[in-house]
A and B are shown apart, each in its own frame.
Chain A
């Protein structure tokens, strides 16, 4: 579990996150949603330690991440997997080497063991062996995301972070990625935090949803509750999509 307590983050005096408190639960897909510029990515980067926080605490289970030193933080980061918006795969190495990279860096496994682990991870994200030797520039956007997920789970992380994993993908591939993240979260009992503004993801895999507006926590709930919420800002965000407005209307009409 990851706990965020009274988090405040400012940039040049501008308060981007305002006193956010939330628990991201283990074994669940925790979603952070909100409009562009609402502070989702800043929150994610604060939790990851890429931004220093001005006030508040971040707890990874029983460890206070905000108080840990650089050395301890580095160790903790080996328990974290991250899937970036664009995949962030290393261009100069192949798909296989990308997934093997954290293993090369942090384990004493033999080459054979590493190859087995790479094959296991890539198989889990449905990447066929013929793609192993390709470079990231030779694969599609959807495949890049899947390889990034495989790399993120290579070290068997306890915490998985995803920054807009569906951006730039077609609806079918987005669904595949969502399902993959959901299944992996369950299989490996990870605390998964997904930053998204894709409503399909919210409905499909949003077991715990945090809605942020202008840096403030506006609403917390599940995908089952979100369509019936009374929060005006949340409703404005969701029902900007006519499909969901129609869905709500149908639910209300029974």
Chain B
């Protein structure tokens, strides 16, 4: 029953958020701010995490494929496909749910408990639309770029780590990342990243928008938002993989 209540209220919030803006110019200004605040500021962590994961995966694949019967280019191929199919879309979305999601919940939640949202409403502004819509558009817009950046730096991580640790030579790795490339994997993951972007922005926004109480409750709401977003990301990953890949 409680689950249905939250689902209903979530969609009613989305309906309010997607209402016609009061003044397009102000929303556009807010959108650019959110792209910078939520998207551009996430590039650093995406680069760092992707480089390390790319390197770690290369070492682990090299260890797992140590059998001389396996061609060595498989290490590069496996690293590339894992990044393309799962890590740079799903795992990155889980990480971003922690970073961007908690940011959104705490920002909107703090505005709720300090009456800033009431203040917007009294001015005659649709607070759900003004606060949530630019965040959703910004995150959905930036996620495919973060995915591309992650794939690039993940592969680069393997490229640097493999030869340095002696697990694979540079030509073997490059040969691997060029072998049996399926462009649809990238298309599939970009579709996933758009869906995950929507979840990462809208679910935490919901928990922030309806928070009640004080600072402690905002903290609790942030945790709940991140947990729920992660579960939904994995659930939609399963559905999209079944629908688009099999």
Contact = CB atoms under 8 A, between A and B. Distances in A.
Contacts of A75: 124
B116 interface: yes
A90 B124 CA distance: 16
Contacts of A106: 22-23, 123-124
Contacts of B179: none
Interface in A82-117: 82, 84-86, 88-91, 101-102, 104-106
Contact of B119 (A73, A74, A88, A104): A88
B181 to A, nearest CB: 44
Given A104-B23, A105-B22, A105-B23, A86 B124 contact: no
A80 B111 CA distance: 20
Contacts of B122: 48, 50, 77, 80, 82, 161
B114 A82 contact: no
A104 B121 CA distance: 15
Given A86-B114, A105-B23, A78 B123 contact: yes
Contacts of A85: 115
B182 interface: no
B125 interface: yes
Contacts of A91: 110-111, 116
B26 A84 contact: no
A68 B207 CA distance: 30
B118 A84 contact: yes
Nearest to B122: A82
A150 B22 CA distance: 22
Contacts of A77: 121-124
A104 B115 contact: no
Contacts of B119: 82, 84, 88, 90
Complex A-B, nearest 6 residue pairs according to Cβ-Cβ distance, in ascending order: A77-B124, A88-B119, A74-B124, A88-B115, A84-B115, A82-B122
9 contacts: A50-B122, A80-B122, A84-B115, A86-B115, A89-B116, A90-B116, A91-B116, A101-B123, A105-B123
Given A77-B122, A88-B118, A104-B23, 7 more contacts: A50-B118, A78-B124, A84-B115, A88-B114, A90-B116, A91-B111, A105-B26
Interface of A: 48, 50, 73-78, 80, 82, 84-86, 88-91, 101-102, 104-106, 161
